[in-house]
Amino acid sequence: MKHDHDPVDVLIIGAGPTGAIAASELRAAGFSVTCLEQGDWTHRAVFTGATKDWELAAQRNWHPNPNVRGRRADYPIDVSESDVNPLMYAGVGGATILYGAHWVRALPSDFRVRTLDGVADDWPIAYEDLQPFYEEADRQMGVSGLGDDPTYPPTEAPPLPPLPIGKIGLKAASGMDQLGWHWWPAPNAIASKAYRGREACIRRGTCQTGCPEGAKGSADLTHWPEAIKAGVRLVTNARVAEVTVDAQGLANGAVYIDADGERRFHPASTVIVAANGVGTPRLLLMSQSDRHPDGLANSSGLVGRRLMMHPYAAVNGVYEDDLESWLGPAGQSIVSHEFYETDHSRGFVRGAKWQVMPAGGPLGNRSGYGGHAETDSGHDPLSGWGQDFHAEARRTFGRSFEWGIIAEDLPDEANRVVLSDTLVDADGLPAPKIVYRQSENTRKLLEFHLARAREAHLAAGAIETYDTPLMRDCGWHLLGTTRMGDDPETSVVDSYGRSHDVPNLFVYDGSTFVTSTGQNPTATIAAVALRAVRHLIAERRDQVVSTGVAS
């Protein structure tokens, strides 16, 4: 193993949004910072959104499931015991390369689930603790939206004006208006005007396969260029195999495998892991030693447990009007929190955020609105083909959109990330294995929300609706696997992401969530990370560090 790196003050593992935020803040405060990223840069010229092959390429090369993409940078994931496939992207920017940039905050009740609803646990922080960091994250990411949404306590408006909600948003809003249900123009981390070096959105609608225009707020654009210019060292194609500890039990660096397959040690005074809700517990579990036989930072036994992935369902509606429903952003058009808060009379607790999204091009439209060969006995497997192929396309293409439902799933220690006994990545490191089952509460929640979303479509004038009850490829939101808390026996890190066991080891990603909320989590992940890193900087004089490695 090579020992040829000089030590740094802070070593960050993972160049996704929180690694980028932490690196930027720490460097600005004068720390020496290196980030190790297992993937590489993704240049926007390789995104296919503007080309004819976009939809076919999206189904493999730009698919959010790493098992489908099969790139060397992505580690494989054993999903044989999971209802849902985790989705992610290994590279500079992390999953923001492929996310839809739905930039929504959690609600005050999300942080008090035990107190308000008698289930799960309260967070050790409140919405009010995060509000200033939400506002700062909005500015850093360049969020477009409209202020005064009554979903939230009064807060600063997004820095950029809202993106157009388009014909699909107007149609959906008309239904919600008739029903008297909440809706609001959606906030997106997509620039509606040129902003801090980024271009304005041109409604390409291919956000989830990479933005060819560079208008989407992905961390490779929002943070890394400036951070590198300021002096952060970002090492790509560097897959971390282990976080190491010194004789005092403090983190003192990491062992990684470089692009040539060479194992190298990088010393550091402090280590931040920002590798997502699957990658972070995987790394901590891989960091086993005689002293930490169950993995690092795992005296609670909770590393990898309480995995939450937000089961996702949708109702697609077909309309008589031409809605140009391939048009972006995608991105979200409008959102609703009408059924977000708990109502015990529904037979379940918690709720879900809804969003309207476009239906995509002809292939995406086809996957949402029929055309599948039926395999049940009695069905003609060629139904949906022949003349039906054209008739269906004529009836639905451009005339349909989805109300998507992000269901809050509650923490369950049985849902977890473990190390696979059989599967390894391209560097021979154990792959993560996901054990995850949908709960009865989630099943009831989705059933209720699907029924309401059908009503929303019908009120807007839909002539048909199609349910997608639970998508298997929906695990965008990887949460809860190193939960935060004040008690070291029932949590892995504190509210600043600091490990209870290893006080100079931090986790800055969705792993630290106590509950999942019913929202897209990146805004909250960013706000929690901003709060944590600013606390680390403010308390730098009291921060215990590994001796002998300080630069």
Partner 1 sequence: MIGGTGVHLGPTALTTDERETLDAVLDVLIPAGSGMPAARDVEVSTRWIDEALRLRPDLRGHLDACLAAVAGADDPESALRAFATAEPDAFGAVGVLVSGSYYMDDRSRAALGYPGQEERRLVDDVDEYAEMLERVLDRGPIFRPTPQEGPHV
Binding mask 475-504 for partner 1 (x = CB under 8 A): -----------x------------------
Residues numbered 351-380 forming contacts with partner 1, rule: CB under 8 A: 361-363, 366, 371-373, 375, 380
Residue closer to partner 1, measured from CB, 28 or 170: 170
Residue 270 vs 524, nearer CB to partner 1:
524
What letter does residue 369 receive in the DSSP assignment?
S
CB atoms within 10 A of CB 541: 5
| DSSP states along 140-166 | HHT-B--S--TTSSS-PPPSBPPPP-H
Site for partner 1 in 125-144 (CB under 8 A): 125-129
Residue among 31 and 47 whose Cβ is closer to partner 1: 47
Find the binder of partner 1 among 6, 81, 148, 489 (CB under 8 A).
Answer: 148
Closer to partner 1 by Cβ: residue 100 or 371: 371
Tell me, residue by residue from 396 to 415, as one string, x for binding to partner 1 by CB under 8 A and - for no binding: -xx-----------------
* Residues 63-82 interacting with partner 1 (rule: CB under 8 A): 67-72, 74-77
From the list 507, 327, 431, the residue with the least C-alpha distance to 77 is: 431
Q: Is residue 471 within the footprint of partner 1 (CB under 8 A)? A: no
Q: Are 277 and 493 in contact (CB under 8 A)?
A: no
Asked if 173 interacts with partner 1 (CB under 8 A), we say yes
Residue that the structure tokens 């977000």 belong to: 340
Strand partners, 400: 318
Q: According to the binding rule CB under 8 A, does residue 194 interact with partner 1?
A: no
**Residue 382 interacts with partner 1 (CB under 8 A): yes or no:** yes
- Our CB check for partner 1 shows the closer of 3 and 387 to be 387
Residue 180 burial (10 A CB sphere; 0-12, 13-18, 19+) = exposed
Interface residues for partner 1 in 322-341 (CB under 8 A)? 322, 326-328, 337-338, 340-341
Angle, vertex CA 194, rays to CA 192 and CA 196, nearest 5: 120
- CA dist 351 and 486 (Å) reads 26
Smallest gap, in angstroms, from Cβ of residue 109 to partner 1? 4
Answer whether 486's CB lies under 8 Å from 496's CB.
no
User: 123 or 224: whose CB is closer to partner 1?
Assistant: 123
Tokens for 381, please give them.
Answer: 């497997």
Kindly tell me which residue out of 116, 119, 228, 458 binds partner 1, with binding defined by CB under 8 A.
116
Closer residue to partner 1 (CB): 323 or 462: 323
Distances (CA, A) of 511 to 200, 275, 474, 529: 32, 9, 17, 11
Shortest spacing between CB 177 and partner 1, in angstroms: 4
Q: Which helix (H) or strand (E) holds 334?
A: strand 334-336
* Cβ 204 vs Cβ 328: under 8 Å: yes
